[in-house]
Amino acid sequence: MGIKGIRTALKVDLEKPARDQPGLHNRWHPDVPSCGRIANNEVVKIECLDWTGGQIGNNDSAEDVKNVDLTQIHYLSGPFDIETAEPGDVLLVEIQDVQPFQDQPWGFTGVFHHKNGGGFLDQLYPKAAKAIWDFEGIFCSSRHIPHWNRREGELIATNTIEDRIVAQPANPMNAHAGSAGDEIKAKVAREGARTIPGRPEHGGNCDIKNLSRGSKVYLPVHVPGAKFSVGDLHFSQGDGEISFCGAIEMAGEITLKFTVIKNGMAKLDMKSPIFNAGPVEPQFGPGRYLTFEGFSVDENGKQHYLDATVAYRQTCLRVIEYLRRYGYSDYQIYLLLSCAPVQGHIAGIVDIPNACTTLAVPMDIFDFDIRPEAEVVKREMGACAITAD
Amino acid sequence: MGIKGIRTALKVDLEKPARDQPGLHNRWHPDVPSCGRIANNEVVKIECLDWTGGQIGNNDSAEDVKNVDLTQIHYLSGPFDIETAEPGDVLLVEIQDVQPFQDQPWGFTGVFHHKNGGGFLDQLYPKAAKAIWDFEGIFCSSRHIPHWNRREGELIATNTIEDRIVAQPANPMNAHAGSAGDEIKAKVAREGARTIPGRPEHGGNCDIKNLSRGSKVYLPVHVPGAKFSVGDLHFSQGDGEISFCGAIEMAGEITLKFTVIKNGMAKLDMKSPIFNAGPVEPQFGPGRYLTFEGFSVDENGKQHYLDATVAYRQTCLRVIEYLRRYGYSDYQIYLLLSCAPVQGHIAGIVDIPNACTTLAVPMDIFDFDIRPEAEVVKREMGACAITAD
Amino acid sequence: MGIKGIRTALKVDLEKPARDQPGLHNRWHPDVPSCGRIANNEVVKIECLDWTGGQIGNNDSAEDVKNVDLTQIHYLSGPFDIETAEPGDVLLVEIQDVQPFQDQPWGFTGVFHHKNGGGFLDQLYPKAAKAIWDFEGIFCSSRHIPHWNRREGELIATNTIEDRIVAQPANPMNAHAGSAGDEIKAKVAREGARTIPGRPEHGGNCDIKNLSRGSKVYLPVHVPGAKFSVGDLHFSQGDGEISFCGAIEMAGEITLKFTVIKNGMAKLDMKSPIFNAGPVEPQFGPGRYLTFEGFSVDENGKQHYLDATVAYRQTCLRVIEYLRRYGYSDYQIYLLLSCAPVQGHIAGIVDIPNACTTLAVPMDIFDFDIRPEAEVVKREMGACAITAD
Amino acid sequence: MGIKGIRTALKVDLEKPARDQPGLHNRWHPDVPSCGRIANNEVVKIECLDWTGGQIGNNDSAEDVKNVDLTQIHYLSGPFDIETAEPGDVLLVEIQDVQPFQDQPWGFTGVFHHKNGGGFLDQLYPKAAKAIWDFEGIFCSSRHIPHWNRREGELIATNTIEDRIVAQPANPMNAHAGSAGDEIKAKVAREGARTIPGRPEHGGNCDIKNLSRGSKVYLPVHVPGAKFSVGDLHFSQGDGEISFCGAIEMAGEITLKFTVIKNGMAKLDMKSPIFNAGPVEPQFGPGRYLTFEGFSVDENGKQHYLDATVAYRQTCLRVIEYLRRYGYSDYQIYLLLSCAPVQGHIAGIVDIPNACTTLAVPMDIFDFDIRPEAEVVKREMGACAITAD
């Protein structure tokens, strides 16, 4: 009859270190014990810490970002056993809602220090930087990046599920294997894959802008029970999340529905996740994006053969050059490009030798007019938190 | 008073070889003579051949694609002198309309042979292939790719403007320098840059999906008069245009308005083109895209460090695997992915070591249901033209 | 620093009768005492009962709808004094979020009995009917209207503010004047305007589909402090909310920001409210609406001179005829048209003698294919609650 | 093979009076002779005069609008026999393209004089007025309504098909029965229905904003061969087309595909036309509309019971009051509201006694900022053509 609320499958404790909470883990390994069972077709809420496990504070210094402990990061809630899921099945996960915690209505965007994590533009921007965002309903604002003001976020969740192939060097330090006993704990620490990258087999940390409220995600199942985990919730992000810790990172609660599609991998001939975004993403109108082009020719004029990564870095730099005319510092824009709902497209990938990518900035996220024909007024833009070196 | 029609600044002849038409050229060089003058703020129509200069026929054989003469290709109409344009200015070009010729209402999509041009997936799909498209208003259909039927195209134009740096090996064979005399002709043949790639300085062949009717493009000016050229019109294309000759290529007429922004390069701090798409691109609704993920792990399991190009190739393969279940051949899908309005996004570019890209297919371009939950019925899909080897 | 949560300006009690709660009222009158103060530029949460004040239960009988006490209905939370607001100002209200209560995740849609409230089609559909909706994140489903399944709602709030002209017969019975003392209470009961209709001076109960999360509403101020009230939250509704109690009605919490625009009525030359919807409404794509036309010619063939109301009623009937082919009862469709995100447009209002209106149904809210070219399969559609007479 | 162009089923002569052209007609009557046959599944182009038959000139006087001969107006091209169409069938018409004539790239919007046609606001605005629009690709501008500049139009066609019930007083004067002989001509003049209004049986002059390029329209068939006619092409219009001659009226060419659905009226249980808009309508983003509310309370404070027509008139007046602050005359705005892509919604139709309608103006059609928070600058707005009385 649906008159009761939805079951919360996992609660987290915002005051307790992540490493001491048995429902969290930060390594992929089939032996991480399940922290709960979820029925086929069930809807549950799952609480999550932010991906650093609470290392970043709501203050005006970027020292915590600079010194973030990377051996710990990327905590996930889970894994959960989904009843009836077997290897070869596909797990359909519907994201029905994502919410920050009522009593922690803020998030952060960070630029990692080039010697501790780095980011897409770390050769040019080596320092650590941070912006804190205050949430107001679906909107947010930052005292560190003014004039991007009370604009809507896009609630984002990155879904992850246990994989079977590990391709990333394992790092035993600070491995957290959930509720595992000592023996399994040691094994996971030794063998467990980091949860940071996305991987073709299971998705992992994909950071896909549109994978948000209302989305359906189809995930391949590799182990009995699927061992589904979730975490690293974002209040908003753009394509690429370029500063690494680039989204508006938050702790919060995600509402998910699970459906097992028996033998789905063969039926869908599916090797990597597929998704179908919902109809509620922000819509700015195609005429309200200002789009920048970049090519696979680097700062030194060297051409890189159809290299979309080089082209996208150049595209980002073109946006920074354009927006700094309004008074923003480069670090502020670098943070902004990571967390605002920008679109990064692969435009040309065949016209040898140059790849061409585009980055489209929705003009309506600013409270002043950034069209090329509008007059440029330099504004007082304050500053984001930034380290001395 | 506007009671007369718009001036046609260049007419082409569909029956005559491209190389014999003085308003066309296929090399970039400042010395290619201008074929006409256009006033500041003027609106004109410019006729264009298809980018091969008419080498491809409306028939059921792909031999012409296999044997296409690559020394000739990428003919442009122009260059035109835009009055008052000087180096350092920005030329604002508004694309007001793009139309195929009334008496040639068809276009083509081709897969080039791996030994003659190739394409994004040529290691897997080495043969030449071709599909012919019949235009019906804003719609088109192909006898070579059925069930993508009477769906709307997106009229696309790739704008180009004379650059000053040449970075691509010049090839004197079949160089066409417009109306140049013998001496200049020889110089252009020797020194002229190919018109095929996009370049950061001027745009060139960018193949950007959204650069269509209603767009405003801001182009840096490097030579007096700007020497604007245009060509390679597309009836429709997707992000990436992956089969190289992948859009629905056509001959036709483009309506443009030119406005010179004095000293615009400094004012906008602009090194590469910027554009603002118009409000009329096809809109399918975010929930009507089925999106595939791909990662920078190749077929052999090798991880390529944050390589978006490798990731995008894998993403394309995931779509081919999914769609071939309906009866399409791989070559049909390869052609389709190049010309349909698909979206290619850079999703994750920082979560080392794997880049993640997505390819979103609008489900409404098919006349059957491709959602994962719909039953798969294998259909009679005919065949595209394809060479024996 | 924004590290604390947002202040809740009013809490309601779901267990207590509405009439006994001093922060609620169901009549407009300048003398209804304010239940709180809100600062200029403040963001607050306000809790609301559903508009009937809790008269409708989560069960399978429509008797409660049939016997609803109309003298009580349309309870609002408020009024609130907004600091600095004076007559002649404009109050800018930004809707930052709307949420159902966590422990009451359901709502209802009702058809009122023709002898007790009625509705837009009550001559054809005189009985009372009801559907209960279970909320799952942004989605909802109803055991009473199957196959409109787990689709997204659109959280809607109707904003209201004290007016000064009363044009609706006052009804003292069950008038609730908030915390007023006996004398004021009697005066409000005698003179107070009903809160049911929208009114040009202040907005009132406008039931506008797009007035949702992310909207900015500009309201004229007529009394010192503005005396802002809000209530009648909707989980989802369509244009017209045709069955009177037609939206998915719910109790819940709305997050609002208030800004006073001094002397705004003269500055904006504004007599009735203006609003600017946010960028997050559901987007189905224009090609995913099936649109029905209706004309101001009634069932008896009588033409009504440019009467958009008659035309819209005919348009609704055309949709009912079309959808009943799938197995739905007329009452189910009547409920559906009221609460689904349909669009009702005024198409032709000048081509004498017939007005033409349209009603556009988003096809993606159904889990089967309703396009005219798809085969019609009659389904087991269960039943909504409905009274015997 | 589709290598030839599309057949033009009817050519019109822009220099010859409409009444002398046998492929045109301005009355509905089953006996109007067909002017051609179209095969089932055929695509054709059909040329059309503007709806006045060429009475309006490209000049700066509104005298021609004032004196327009209303006995002639609303010329259609046709009727055409569609092969195999029989009464009871449904005719599916796909609008594949609409284009103005290349050598007549202009159109007009008119306010009819209150004594000769009138319009939705003729009690307030009794004079005749006119604006001429110059087309530039998909854009247009008017010397009579500046600062609505080079914005995109929306090519619109109103489709019509022979009906069988005539409900409008016939007027023999200036009846044009196409190629009919004297006897039929007299009969049509006596009995023929005017082509001006929309009608439930067949559609007629519906003036629906979204019925444009890419749409599929489903029309009931009442006579053998369907006797399809088309005309009154619009370059752009808004919901309501409120000034009667309110769209940007033009002569031009429409490309249509016809498909007969046998026994479709019963199959679809269809009494009035249905349509499915294409995916290419202009998209401004929901946050880029400024929306005005109006109620069924007239200028004298009289309440009209749930009267959407009265409410919509009030809504229009609210927009005029708002926009005149920028320097436009009321007549300029009245013209603008008729031809710009505004949205008119039925918001509340059940909250007795007041209907509520909304009118949403896309802010991006202006080249200045009309948001309430932007400063108001009165501009030099010139004037539209307007008569002395």
- Quick: pLDDT tens for D270-307: 888 888 887 777 778 888 889 998 888 888 888 888 89
Residue B253 confidence (pLDDT): 85
Average pLDDT for residues D165-183, to the nearest whole number? 71
Residue D210 confidence (pLDDT): 67
CA distances from D153 to B152, D133, D280, D341, D363 (A): 18, 11, 12, 8, 14
The DSSP result for D186-213, as a single string, is HHHHHHPEESSSEETTTEES---TT-BT
Residue in chain A closest to C283 (alpha carbons) equals A279
Judged by CB atoms closer than 8 Å, whether chains meet at A137 and C284 is answered as no
Answer whether D150 touches A (CB < 8 Å): no
Residue D159 confidence (pLDDT): 52
Residue D204 confidence (pLDDT): 67
Residue A370 has, within 13 A of its CA and on its CB side, a CA count of: 30
Residue A326, SS3?
helix
Residue D29 confidence (pLDDT): 84
CA distances from A107 to A99, C153, C213, D56, D305 (A): 12, 27, 20, 62, 51
Q: Which of B51-55, B136-140, D20-24, D118-122 has the lowest mean pLDDT?
A: B136-140
Residue C59 confidence (pLDDT): 92
- The model's confidence at residue A167, banded by pLDDT at 50, 70 and 90, is very low
**Interface subset of B 264-323, CB within 8 angstroms of A:** 267-281, 283, 285-287, 289-295, 297, 301, 303, 306-309, 312, 314, 318, 321-322
Q: Where are the domains of chain B?
A: 7-276, 286-386
Of B1, B97, B143, Cβ closest to residue D138 = B97
- The model's confidence at residue B168, banded by pLDDT at 50, 70 and 90, is very low
pLDDT in tens, A363-387: 988 888 998 888 899 999 888 888 9
- B336: pLDDT strictly greater than 80: yes
Rounded to whole angstroms, the Cα distance separating C355 from D155 reads 22
Residue C1 confidence (pLDDT): 35
Answer whether B138 touches D (CB < 8 Å): yes
Percent of chain B's residues with pLDDT above 70: 90
Residue A3 confidence (pLDDT): 47
Judged by CB atoms closer than 8 Å, whether chains meet at B138 and D96 is answered as yes
Residue type for C173, please?
M
List, in sequence order, the alpha helices (H) in chain D. 63-66, 182-191, 264-267, 308-323, 330-339
Judged by CB atoms closer than 8 Å, whether chains meet at B137 and D280 is answered as no
Residue D3 confidence (pLDDT): 47
pLDDT in tens, D38-50: 999 898 999 999 9
Mutation pick from A42, A96, A150, A364 vs chain C, by most beta carbons of C within 10 Å, is A96
Residue B229 confidence (pLDDT): 87
Residue A82 confidence (pLDDT): 92
Residue B3 confidence (pLDDT): 47
Q: What is the pTM of this model?
A: 0.86
ipTM of this model? 0.86
Answer whether B372 touches C (CB < 8 Å): no
The top-level CATH class assigned to B7-276 is mainly beta
Of A285, A364, A369, Cβ closest to residue D283 = A285
Bigger pLDDT: C155 vs B378 = B378
Residue D161 confidence (pLDDT): 52
CB of D13 within 8 A of CB of D21?
A: yes
- D123: pLDDT strictly greater than 70: yes
Q: Parallel, antiparallel, or unpaired for β A90-100 and A216-220? A: antiparallel
Mutation pick from D92, D114, D269, D309 vs chain C, by most beta carbons of C within 10 Å, is D309
Superfamily name with CATH number, domain C7-269: Acetamidase/Formamidase-like domains (2.60.120.580)
- D160: pLDDT strictly greater than 60: no
Length of chain C: 389
Q: Please give the backbone phi and psi of residue B260, each rounded to the nearest 5 degrees, phi first.
A: -90, 125
Residue D272 confidence (pLDDT): 85
For chain C, 389 residues long, the average pLDDT of each consecutive 10-residue run is 71 92 88 91 91 91 91 88 91 86 86 87 89 82 76 52 45 82 87 75 69 82 88 79 77 88 90 81 82 88 88 92 93 89 85 84 89 89 89
CB of D144 within 8 A of CB of D353?
A: no
Apex A275 CA angle, A269 and A276, nearest 5: 120
Judged by CB atoms closer than 8 Å, whether chains meet at C240 and D196 is answered as no
CA distances from C145 to A135, C109, C138, C339 (A): 36, 11, 18, 11
Rounded to whole angstroms, the Cα distance separating A217 from A231 reads 15
Residue C3 confidence (pLDDT): 47
Across chain D, what does the average pLDDT equal? 83
For chain D, the straight-line distance linking the first and the last C-alpha, in angstroms and rounded, comes to 59
Helix (H) or strand (E) holding B48: strand B43-48
- B165: pLDDT strictly greater than 50: no
Spatial CB neighbours of D1, under 8 Å, sequence gap ≥ 6 = B58
Judged by CB atoms closer than 8 Å, whether chains meet at D314 and C200 is answered as yes
Residue A389 confidence (pLDDT): 85
Average pLDDT for residues B313-326, to the nearest whole number? 93
The DSSP result for C178-234, as a single string, is TT--HHHHHHHHHHPEESSSEETTTEES---TT-BTT-EEEEE--STTTTEEEEEEE
Rounded to whole angstroms, the Cα distance separating C238 from C248 reads 10
Encoding tokens for residue B258?
């030119």
Q: Please give the backbone phi and psi of residue B45, each rounded to the nearest 5 degrees, phi first.
A: -105, 140
Judged by CB atoms closer than 8 Å, whether chains meet at B239 and A199 is answered as no
Q: Which of A332-346, B124-138, C44-58, D242-256 has the lowest mean pLDDT?
A: D242-256
Residue C157 confidence (pLDDT): 56
Cβ-Cβ pairs closer than 8 A, A with C, add up to: 101
Average pLDDT for residues D140-161, to the nearest whole number? 64
CATH level 3 topology of A286-386: Endonuclease I-creI (3.10.28)
CB of D97 within 8 A of CB of D242?
A: no
> Can you name the residues that pair with A274 across neighbouring β-strands?
A218, B292
Residue type for D4, please?
K
Residue B157 confidence (pLDDT): 56
Rounded to whole angstroms, the Cα distance separating B260 from C325 reads 60
Contacts with C281 from chain B: Cβ below 8 Å: none
- D138: pLDDT strictly greater than 80: no
**Interface subset of C 164-193, CB within 8 angstroms of A:** none
- D166: pLDDT strictly greater than 60: no
Cα-based torsion angle of the residue sequence C175, C181, C183, C189 in order, rounded to the nearest 10 degrees: -10
Structure letter (DSSP) for residue A212: B
The DSSP result for B256-317, as a single string, is EEEEEETTHHHHTT-SS-EEE--TTS----GGGEEEEEEESB-TTS-B-TT-HHHHHHHHHH
pLDDT in tens, A77-96: 989 999 999 998 999 988 88
Across chain A, what does the average pLDDT equal? 84
pLDDT in tens, A261-317: 999 999 988 888 888 887 777 778 888 889 998 888 888 888 888 898 999 999 999
Answer whether D42 touches B (CB < 8 Å): no
Cβ-Cβ pairs closer than 8 A, B with C, add up to: 24
- A149: pLDDT strictly greater than 60: no
Residue C167 confidence (pLDDT): 38
| Residue given tokens 């060419």 in the structure block | D253
Of B58, B132, B255, Cβ closest to residue D137 = B255
pLDDT in tens, A100-123: 888 888 888 888 899 988 888 888
Residue in chain A closest to B282 (alpha carbons) equals A286
pLDDT in tens, B92-114: 988 888 888 888 888 888 888 99
User: Angle formed by the axes of helices D308-323 and C308-323, to 10°?
Assistant: 120
Contacts with A105 from chain C: Cβ below 8 Å: 2, 4-6
Average pLDDT for residues D89-115, to the nearest whole number? 87
- Bond preceding residue C200 cis, omega within 30 of 0: no
Contacts with D239 from chain C: Cβ below 8 Å: 345-347
Judged by CB atoms closer than 8 Å, whether chains meet at D274 and C289 is answered as no
